[in-house]
Amino acid sequence: MDVFDCYGIDTYPSHHIGAGAPYCMGSRIKGSNSMNWNSWSDFFAMGGYGFYVWGSYIASVICIVGEIWLILNRRRTLQKYLGLKNESTISEKKNETTS
């Protein structure tokens, strides 16, 4: 996904038949700056916004992993609870039939 520089783009009226934008969607605009990095350090720096970009990715991953961990923990706890409840009802039924 490229980010194009919007300077120098003219606006054209679109209320009549002959009007139309001279640029097609996705076409390169002369003099635009696309996101090309010369090295990995430029990629991770993200033009000076790397801390915010990568920080938001890290925060998102932490939240997603935490949510998955909480769901699994809740599932294990529920299985233990239902297993103990099931075992107690089975033992109660055995005690009822033997007495």
Assessment of whether the complete model's pTM goes beyond 0.75: no
How large is the average pLDDT for residues 13-38? Answer: 57
Contact 38, 44 (CB under 8 A): no
Q: For residues 38 and 34, which has the higher predicted lDDT (pLDDT)?
A: 38
Place 28 in a pLDDT band, splitting at 50, 70 and 90. Answer: low
Rounded (to 5) percent helix, strand, coil in the chain: 60, 0, 40
Question: What residue ranges do the domains of the chain occupy?
Answer: 48-98
pLDDT beyond 80 at 48:
yes
Q: What one-character-per-residue DSSP string does 28-56 give?
A: PPTT------SSHHHHHHGGGTHHHHHHH
Place 63 in a pLDDT band, splitting at 50, 70 and 90. Answer: very high
